[in-house]
Amino acid sequence: MLKSINTFIFGLSPEERVRKWQSNLRREQRGLDREIRQLDQAISRTKSSLKQVAKRNDTKSCRILAVEIVRSNKQKERLLSSKVQLNSISMQLSSQLSTIKVTGSLQKSTEVMKLSSNLIKLPQLSSTMSQMSEEMMKAGIMDEMLQDTMEANDEDGVEEEADEEVDKVLTEITGGKLSQVGSVTDKPLPEIENESEQANDEELEKMQKQLDGLLRG
């Protein structure tokens, strides 16, 4: 009860602040783990679909699905990298706990500021990292965030995907049979000829929307 009253009057102690931040970081890591698992499942389904359309010699759909796989893999790499950076911040905060025992206060950390600047760009972490950064600035761990850290996250659009990456995916999944089918971005899509192809396109569009939802977080 006395501790709650002290917290209400004086706020959290430096140790309590650090533990609260570390708890937030662990929560965000678990969230990224869930997204990574969802991406893995989506990538697996897309690969299966690509194999199926490859049997029909549907080069247009194969190319579109390969682009989605490349985009999903890049998003997975970003999430894995962000997990590592979250863990690095947590380790930096653990060293702050040791410092507190000696100095009685939190110390400025350029490493925490640098890592936070990177993570604040990721949509999934933007809200949490913005709030934590403000708290850390008030606590004296960080200076003001760099202006460009608040800019929108860079997007690797489909049109910017390197053709060689897409070809590599096609080669891997189709055994090289459909690796050189041209870029989906520089050729007009063929018109739908029958109801069967219409259904295939609708299924492909549905899958793209599901993947886009995962990629946007």
Q: Looking at the domain assignment, is residue 5 inside a domain?
A: no
CA distance 201 to 191: 11
Q: How far apart are CA 201 and CA 85, in angstroms?
A: 39
Phi then psi for residue 20, to 5 deg, are -65, -45
- Domain assignment present for residue 7? The answer is no
Domain encompassing residue 48: 14-216
> What are 18-62's pLDDT values in tens digits?
999 999 999 999 999 999 999 999 999 999 999 999 888 888 899
CA distances from 120 to 3, 74, 123, 151 (A): 33, 18, 7, 9
Whether the predicted pLDDT of 177 surpasses 90: no
Average of per-residue pLDDT values in the chain? 78
What is the rounded average pLDDT of the residues 72-95?
95
Residue 182, pLDDT above cutoff 80: no
What is the pTM (predicted TM-score) of this model? 0.73
Give the CATH number for residue 52: 1.20.1260
Split into its structural domains, the chain has a count of: 1
Is position 9 within any domain? no
Determine the longest span between alpha carbons in the chain, in angstroms.
Answer: 76
13-27, 91-105, 138-152: which is most confident? 13-27
